[in-house]
Amino acid sequence: MTESMTEVKTYNIYLLRHGKTQGAPALYGHTDVAVSIETQQSIRKTLTTQNLGFTAIETSPLKRCQALAQQLVDDCPALALTVTDNWKETHFGDLDGVPFEAAQSDWPKFEAFWRDPAIHVLPNAEPLEQFYHRISQAWDSFTQALDQDTLVICHGGTIRMILAHVLQLDYTNPLLYSTLHIDHQTLTHIQLTQADKNYLRVRMIGQPLI
């Protein structure tokens, strides 16, 4: 009697960082800022013309992500939409959403944070270790249950944590934040092959959409 071969399935995961937000320069984590209608429309048009073939969307609940997800579903009601806290950006604590101009007295805290975010945690912010493990656990649960090509609309920090987890990088390395740039409205593509176990391949990082 011959042993049956393991069925192999491959799925595409597209990680989209939301469009450039409106408002003064600041660290926007959980602060619910919007993206302009024009920018959202440009992203939507580009995604439509690229024919990526995703049949499901998962999105952060913050409106800079969820508004685009809803527009895409309005265009194509067959898309399965999941709104989840799993993909939320980190929380920058007391300085979350505070314009840099209005926080000049806190500038040394910003500089220390940018120099080494794992060590220099902003006041009452989510520690980097906690953020990394939160996203890693969400990613593992997501990939274990994945059964269709999916677009995940989320945040720059979220995508960095996913890449650090998938590539087994040291998430405490400051270069991951100062050197790896995940710009607004860019697409990162990860392919998942399900066989005897899950195999992940990073196909593209930070492709600009507009």
Annotation says 155 is catalytic: no
Can you tell me the distance from the alpha carbon of 68 to that of 197, in angstroms, rounded to the nearest whole number? 33
Structure tokens at 141: 């649960």
Taking the C-alpha atoms of residue 185 and residue 20, their distance in angstroms, rounded to an integer, is 7
CA distances to 93, 101, 174 from 98, rounded to whole Å, are 10, 8, 23
89 assigned to active site = yes
201 is annotated as contributing to ligand binding: no
From 18, 155, 165, 184, active-site residue: 18
Buried b (16+ CB within 10 A) or exposed e, 120-156: bbbeebbebeebbebbbebbeebbeebeebbbbbbbb
Choosing from 58, 89, 155, 184, which is the catalytic residue? 89
In angstroms, the CA 17 to CA 33 distance is: 14
**Helix/strand/coil for 148:** coil
Q: Which are the catalytic amino acids? A: 18, 89
Binding site per annotation, positions for substrate? 64
Binding site per annotation, positions? 64
